[in-house]
A = this chain, B = another copy of it.
Amino acid sequence: MTDDDELRLHRWESHADLPLTVVALVFLVAYAVPILDDHLSPKWDRAYDVATWASWLAFAIDYVVRLCLARHRAAFVRSNLLDLAVVVLPMLRPLRLLRVLALVDILNRRAGSSLRGRVGVYVAGSMVLVLFVGSLAVLDAERHAPGSNIHTSGQALWWSIVTVSTVGYGDFYPVSTTGRLVGVGMMISGIALLGVVTASVASWLVDRVRQVEQGAQAATRADVAKLAAKIDSLERLLAQRDAPKA
């Protein structure tokens, strides 16, 4: 019976994958447009509000269904804390957009062959999403904050890039608590970006250097093969000697 549950959980997840990605894309629009267009008509404003709530409902239903289907509920909650936080805390709302990264996965399945190639596509996709969402979030938080200096979407995007690259000119910087939390997220992304880029180059270099070494290992393998041949001939020699005696 519990195995049945496990199976049903997996089936639900594979069925819910595409719809939830579509919901995330709808939420992306419903999240982005009211931030980018500060003077939306009340009618449209309400429409985007409804879309936001609908996407929240979809994520909440998905979480509850998965929780009900899970074999060990306590273990499920513990290993899906982020999912819970995204549903419960309205402040983490933009994290719902992480689901859009599923699109990068699809792209990867098509194009990627080597590990480094797939890492590259994933990093590039994540960076575009992080910069986009980070710019929106900081613009939302800072636009009307007292003493702030980020007021247009262009400034927000420029600030995002300057922060992720850890350059940090200081021509723009967040002053509100929410804006600074977004900034912390961008900095962590920047450190991760630097780490992944460096690691990829290092892995490539180490690989190229190692190819020489693998040649040496191949030589050992060849030696072992020669030994095997020698022993084979010994065996045959012994067998031949035995044959006439019989």
A206-220, CB < 8 A from B: 206-210, 213-214, 216-217, 219-220
Q: Kindly state whether residue A110 has any CB partner on chain B within 8 Å.
A: no
Of the candidates B184, B195, B224, which one forms a contact with A197 in the assembled complex, judged by CB atoms under 8 Å apart? B195
* CB of A226 closer than 8 Å to a CB of B: yes
Q: Within 8 Å CB of A194, what residues of B?
A: 191, 194-195, 197-198
Segment from A30-38, A93-101, A230-238 that makes contact with B: A230-238
A201 and B206: CB pair below 8 A?
Answer: no
Closest 9 interchain pairs by CB? A167-B168, A199-B202, A170-B170, A199-B201, A165-B187, A169-B170, A195-B198, A203-B205, A195-B197
Number of interface residues of A (CB under 8 A): 68
Partner of A237, one of B191, B223, B238: B238
Q: Indicate how many identical chains form the complex.
A: 4
A221 located at the interface, meaning its Cβ lies under 8 Å from any Cβ of chain B in the complex: yes
- Bound complex: CA of A193 vs CA of B177, how far in Å? 24
The residue on B at minimum CB distance from A210 is B213
Which of A19-27, A56-64, A156-164 has 4 or more CB atoms under 8 Å from chain B? A156-164
Q: A167-B166, A187-B167 are in contact. Are A230 and B232 (CB under 8 A)?
A: yes
- Ordered by A's residue number, 26 sampled pairs between the chains whose C-beta atoms are within 8 Å are A119-B205, A161-B183, A162-B183, A163-B167, A165-B188, A166-B167, A166-B168, A171-B173, A191-B194, A194-B194, A195-B201, A195-B202, A198-B201, A199-B199, A199-B202, A202-B202, A203-B206, A206-B206, A217-B217, A219-B221, A220-B220, A226-B228, A227-B228, A231-B231, A234-B235, A237-B242
